Every structure is written in C-alpha cells, then in structure tokens.
C-alpha cells in the first residue's frame, strides 16, 4: 500500500540524449520534415519547456541529431572493418554480409531520411559525405592489405558499398530462396582475386 503521507513521485527530467533518440526514431517514420518540437513533446509526454532546456531551437536539435548519427556510423564502420593481419578477406565478406542484410529496417529508414535531407541541406550533406568517405576508406584499407593497388582498392570499396546499400533497399524476403546463394556469389565477385590472393599468401605452395 502506498504511503499517503509521501508526495507523489515526479517523473525524472529528460536529458538531452532522450530528445535526440526520440528525434532519430521520428525521422525513421516521418522524415526530417516531420521533426517538430510539438510532435516530439507529445511522443515523450512532456512539455515543450523541457525541449528548450536542452536546445535553443529546432535547428540545434537537427545539428545534434546529425552529430549523433555521424558518430554512430563512424564508430560502427571502424568496428566492422577491424581485422587481424591475414584475415582481411574474411572481414570484407563480413562487411558485405552485415551491410547487405535487410533485418535492420529502422537503420535503413534512418539512413534514407538522412540522405534525403542531405539533398536539401548543406550541413547534412557535409555529414553524409564525411561518413561515406570514412566508410570507403575503411573498406579500401582492407583491399590494400590484400595487395591491391590504390586505384583497384578504391574501385572495389566503391562497388562494395554500392552493392550493400542498394541490396538493403530490396525486399529480399520476398525474393527466391536462392537469394542467399546469390549473395555469396556477389560477395565473391566483389572480393574477387583479392580474397584468393589473401588465402594463397597464408598457405604458400610447398617447394
């Protein structure tokens, strides 16, 4: 039984990160055009005054959202492309598998919303360009480690991301069951002789 002499428990005030996370969730369904302070306040069941405690205006929230997305994507690509010496080919196949998966629909929707935003907003465009450059550089470094030239490694890295992000937009669950087998073949084409060279280097022929 509650103690009637105790004052009612007040809801803990929202911190800045709660607003940013709510904004990220909202653009996944409504796009950046739907990112309104009133909508977020209703979603979080607080007054707009709570918002202005943390942000000067809507633009300040947008910038915080962009920075949050940028840091998360950069942290993720560094994690996914970290490979031990001699395991670069396996790591490339892992990157292809992870980023071509369609299971994280929310992440795909957020990526699309950010990229659509970047078509109209120079700050968003700069953030997207930075993330793309780092993604390509991380993949290129794996190809370089396999002995490819700078030009070839850059081309392979570009092809890798063109494929994985294009595939992530497809409704693969509605496609034939052999899709997984096709994905394996495509990954083989992208890594190509680079992966095979890596394997041969690990197991040189006996004299």
Residue given tokens 């909508």 in the structure block = 39
- State how far the Cα of 29 lies from the Cα of 99, in Å rounded to an integer: 21
**177 pLDDT more than 60:** yes
103-121: average pLDDT: 90
Q: Give residue-wise pLDDT tens across range 4-25.
A: 454 433 355 689 999 999 999 9
Q: Give residue-wise pLDDT tens across range 32-77.
A: 999 999 999 999 999 898 899 999 999 999 999 999 999 999 999 9
Q: What per-residue string of b and e applies to 48-71 under the rule 16 or more CB within 10 Å gives b?
A: eebbeebbeeeeebbebbbeebbe
**176 pLDDT more than 80:** no
Q: Give residue-wise pLDDT tens across range 120-146.
A: 999 999 999 999 999 999 999 999 999
195, 98, 106: which is closest to 156 by C-alpha?
A: 195
96 alpha-carbon distance from chain centroid: 13
- State how far the Cα of 195 lies from the Cα of 112, in Å rounded to an integer: 31
φ/ψ bin of 149: left (φ > 0), alpha (ψ from -120 to 50), beta (otherwise)? beta
The 8 Å CB, 24+ separation contacts for 31-35 are: 31/113, 31/116, 31/117, 32/62, 32/113, 32/116, 32/117, 32/121, 32/124, 35/61, 35/62, 35/65
**181 pLDDT more than 50:** yes
């Amino acid at each position: 039984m509650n103690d009637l002499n105790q004052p009612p428990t007040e809801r803990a005030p929202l911190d800045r990160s709660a607003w940013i996370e709510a904004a990220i969730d909202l653009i996944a369904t409504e796009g950046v055009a739907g990112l309104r302070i009133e909508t977020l306040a209703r979603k979080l069941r607080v007054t707009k005054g709570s918002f202005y405690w943390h942000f000067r205006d809507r633009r300040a929230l947008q910038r915080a959202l962009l920075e949050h997305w940028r840091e998360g994507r950069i942290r993720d690509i560094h994690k996914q492309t970290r490979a031990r010496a001699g395991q670069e080919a396996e790591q490339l196949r892992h990157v292809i598998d992870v980023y071509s998966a369609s299971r994280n629909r929310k992440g795909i929707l957020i990526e699309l919303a950010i990229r659509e935003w970047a078509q109209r907003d120079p700050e968003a465009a700069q953030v997207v360009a930075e993330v793309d450059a780092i993604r390509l550089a991380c993949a290129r470094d794996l190809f370089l480690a396999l002995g490819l030239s700078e030009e070839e490694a850059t081309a392979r890295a570009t092809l890798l991301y063109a494929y994985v992000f294009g595939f992530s937009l497809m409704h693969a669950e509605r496609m034939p069951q052999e899709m997984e087998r096709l994905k394996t073949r495509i990954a083989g084409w992208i890594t190509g002789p680079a992966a095979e060279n890596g394997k041969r280097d690990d197991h040189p022929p006996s004299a």
